[in-house]
Structure 1
Amino acid sequence: MIERYQTNEMRQIFSDVRRMQIWTDVELAVVEGFVHNGDAPAADLDVIRANLPLIDQGFVDDVLARERVTNHDLAAFVDTLQSRIAVKESSWIHFGLTSSDVVDTAFSIQIREALEVIVRELRKTILATIALAERHKNTPEIGRTHGMHAEPTTFGGKVVLWAYQLDRDLGRAEKALAQASVGKLSGAVGTYSNVDPAVEHFALSRLGLRPVPATQVVARDIHAEVMYSLASISTSLESFATEIRHLQRSEVGEVFEPFAQGQKGSSAMPHKRNPIVAERIVGLARILRGFLSAALEDVALWHERDISHSSVERVIFPDAFHLCHYGLLKFRWLVENLEVKVEKMRENLDASLGLYFSQSVLLALVEAGLSRDEAYRIVQRDARAAYESKRSFIEILKEDPSVRVDLEEVLDESRLLRNVPKIFEGLGELKARLRDA
């Protein structure tokens, strides 16, 4: 991932130092398992612990140098770790294991740590979105379908739906986190030929994982589910960012991204104020969805394993977590600092000339005894006349002898919005659940 879109948390989790530290933790947990199972002397474990090297950039550099000889990263790591421990007891390191035992188990820990970051930030983002929705619960805004004015809604009523969607994304991320918190230490083809299942169970419990039946590798449908959860989050953010972009258009002008002192919207046109962060969120979501396709391709491996998935995962998973986390941080910043132009929303609502009452009039005419088609034609005719003449729809209705209903009762904006509070009913429980997590 290019530095521009990296986040500090993900950079640390997916660093070479962190990866090799986790590899070391896995190897040590297995030796502890052997001791616990009575397969290795406790004294040997004490010697190994006493001589464990510091896993730092110098250690990583030594592994990379060794890899140029072995052409195998995990074998180079084991060679370097054993040479650094430098005692005969180090022979217990990697005893009975295959490379994927260590690599896949460590990868699960990295995924768990990264998903925990995503889940924490997602909760903050949902709470920020709820706060924006509640501030504008009763701020009238014209609703739009097919890009055209429809009926009134409220800006808060729009935004609260974002919170509910992000909460569904949170559920998917939490499910993926639970699903991916697995490891395997069952040997070359997963048959426990040289490692007792009790050793695996003990070691994985030490690492906060649970055993899963496997071939030589953990099945990649698990990883594809993780990638789907990230793509789903990013796609939700894209959806909301697209709405912000539309509402910031010059002809609409209802919301605006923050614009800092000294910021420039265009190198050529000083008047420009562009929704660049929302556009960036949209663009990065396209990349992340592409990673999902690659993750699904990784599910089908040859027999008990091949390494066609390995090169793909080295790229897509760190990058996907960076992009998802970056997108969440930027979207929360947008929500917390969004400029909402309440007066412009009212102006755009009034620009509809009252046409958003068309369904109300239609239903009133039907209740008065007209057939639905007859009522529809009358309202459609008057609406078209209002639009083309730029006159008030209400005035034209009052002049039409076919419209024999109590317009004062029908043409009541508050009646159209009276049930908006229903949309907010689930927020109390949602906020409590997020804050207690």
Structure 2
Amino acid sequence: MSNNDSYQTPLSSRYASKEMSSLFSMKNRYSTWRKLWYNLAVAEKELGITQITDEALEQLKAHQEITDDEIAEATKQEAIVRHDVMSHVHVYGLTAPAAAGIIHLGATSCFVTDNADLIFLRDGLDILIPKLVNVIDRLSQFALKYKDLPVLGWTHFQPAQLTTVGKRATLWIQELLWDLRNLQRARDDLGLRGVKGTTGTQASFLSLFEGNHDKVEQLDERVVELLGFDYAYPCTGQTYSRKIDVDVLAPLASLGCTAHKFATDVRLLANLKEMEEPFEKSQIGSSAMAYKRNPMRSERICSLSRHLQSCFQDATQTASVQWFERTLDDSAIRRVSLPGAFLTADIVLSTLLNVVSGLVVYPKVIERRIAAELPFMATENIIMAMVQRGGDRQQCHEEIRVLSHQAAQVVKEQGGDNDLIERIKNTPYFKPVHDDLDKLLDPSTFVGRAPEQTEKFVNKTVAKALEPYKKMINQEGFQLAV
């Protein structure tokens, strides 16, 4: 049966990067099991288990990378014994016959399954973090480029006080910085389950070392060291606590929130024709409406970000229903939710990287929209200018209120342009400020400290946050979603 004859998840077949798909592949999973068995044997031999020979270690080391044929053989064996780990112990023993009798010595299945999962969580975060760093870096360049460009702000999706395009981008960047902090924290907090035995008591290893508690502790520490971790969780049942999955998937779900918000803003701005995601020269927006430039990348981000957030619920619900030292109802869902969350986060970040690397801004459209709304916002400035020239504030307020309502009627009922300024220019009462109207309507005077805030935020806050990741910035080889 070819791949075309069976369901393939689009997470791996259509969207995710090769490195993330490879990380959660069956070949990498089973090869990681072999790496764990090899390092366990190395540590046990170092601590005096004489049954483990140099030849056994040499054979285990030489065959840590599992082959397709060995995976097929293990699948056949699993159909007989109905146990995935023992089927692989059997096949590894056939491949490394000198070690057949000592593979998995003293261990339980969770020695390989749980420790492998923790390795995948760590390595998965190591794939995601550089992509997030580059999203932040490129969006920060965008913010600086457009820090001075006034744009209409929106509250309740109603016209509000002006901001700048760059200042709006800082709102996106700030949330991404929090995501970076959360992902790094989760990565740094990860430990191994280590060598704990069937219910976490290390009883089998205590027996293996004839009651020597010190050697059991040294074994745990040595295996952790050989596998590149800083520590093992001091207390486990048969499995590591599934709250660890919660701690890892929580920042991924939070990233999904940030990505969804950003992509939604881009979609709304695309409708306003103020800003667009990249659109390829030969890209087709619609099969029927040839003129369309649909924000399909941002829509993909929104779609998959919702799924990313839902994976977190799998983790919390699974952690909450574990019984005592373990129960097996965590197994099947974790096979789905853990790879699914990382593959989805990988896709979201790759697509974000594509979008922020090619955002298109349309200043003339922005200028036209400001011109349509700014006269109403400038009324207070006009009133203050009139008062400074001897006018009565209450009378001025009434005069401009009447003109504003007339202009609003033209816009709302007749579909015309906002002609408030023309009405002011044609009203003798406002003659003292006629020569100052252009200055009073300069959009750059309505953005407050937006340019300064943007520049300070990028050059200080962002620069400080990205300093530890400088070598990751502008790396070649990222797969940009298309």
SS, match of residue 217 in structure 1: coil
Give the share of equivalent positions with the same residue, in percent. 25
Q: Please show how residues 388-399 of structure 1 align to structure 2 within 5 Å.
A: 388-390=409-411, 391-394=418-421
Counterparts of 1:59 and 1:15, CA distance in 2: 15
Could you tell me which runs of 5 or more consecutive residues in structure 2 were left unpaired when the two chains were aligned: 1-8, 206-215, 412-417, 473-482
Counterparts of 1:374 and 1:26, CA distance in 2: 84
Shift of 1:8: 0.5
Preserved CA contact (<8 Å) 2:167 2:453: no
Preserved CA contact (<8 Å) 1:123 1:170: yes
1:415 maps to a residue whose letter is: T
Preserved CA contact (<8 Å) 2:144 2:454: no
Partner of 2:127: 117
Q: 1:199 aligns with which of 211, 214, 219?
A: 219
Partner of 1:286: 306
Change (3 A) 1:410 1:4: same
Partner of 2:58: 49
Partner of 1:333: 354
Shift of 1:58: 1.5
Preserved CA contact (<8 Å) 1:255 1:340: yes
Change (3 A) 1:343 1:193: same
SS, match of residue 337 in structure 1: coil
Q: 2:243 aligns with which of 178, 203, 221?
A: 221
Could you tell me which runs of 5 or more consecutive residues in structure 1 were left unpaired when the two chains were aligned: none
Shift of 1:97: 1.0
Change (3 A) 1:164 1:297: same
Moved more, 187-196 or 355-364: 355-364
CA displacement 1:203-256 (0-9 Å, x = unmatched):
01111222102111111111112111111112211111111111111xx21112
Preserved CA contact (<8 Å) 1:365 1:405: yes
Report the aligned-residue RMSD: 3.0
Preserved CA contact (<8 Å) 1:353 1:393: no
Counterparts of 2:398 and 2:316, CA distance in 1: 52
Shift of 1:258: 2.4
Q: 1:246 aligns with which of 252, 268, 279?
A: 268
Preserved CA contact (<8 Å) 2:140 2:170: yes
Preserved CA contact (<8 Å) 1:365 1:403: no
Shift of 1:415: 2.7
Moved more, 331-340 or 415-424: 415-424
Change (3 A) 1:165 1:400: farther
Partner of 2:453: 422
Counterparts of 1:400 and 1:93, CA distance in 2: 97
Shift of 1:361: 6.4
Preserved CA contact (<8 Å) 1:143 1:150: yes
SS, match of residue 357 in structure 2: helix
TM-score, length of structure 1 as denominator length = 0.89
Shift of 1:61: 1.3
Shift of 1:9: 0.9
Change (3 A) 1:330 1:192: same
Preserved CA contact (<8 Å) 1:231 1:292: yes
Partner of 2:192: 182
1:155 maps to a residue whose letter is: V
SS, match of residue 159 in structure 2: strand
Q: How many residues align?
A: 432
Change (3 A) 1:65 1:415: same
Preserved CA contact (<8 Å) 2:263 2:301: yes
1:295 maps to a residue whose letter is: A
Preserved CA contact (<8 Å) 1:33 1:202: yes
Preserved CA contact (<8 Å) 1:17 1:55: yes
Counterparts of 2:69 and 2:360, CA distance in 1: 49
Shift of 1:349: 1.0
Shift of 1:380: 6.6
Partner of 1:14: 24
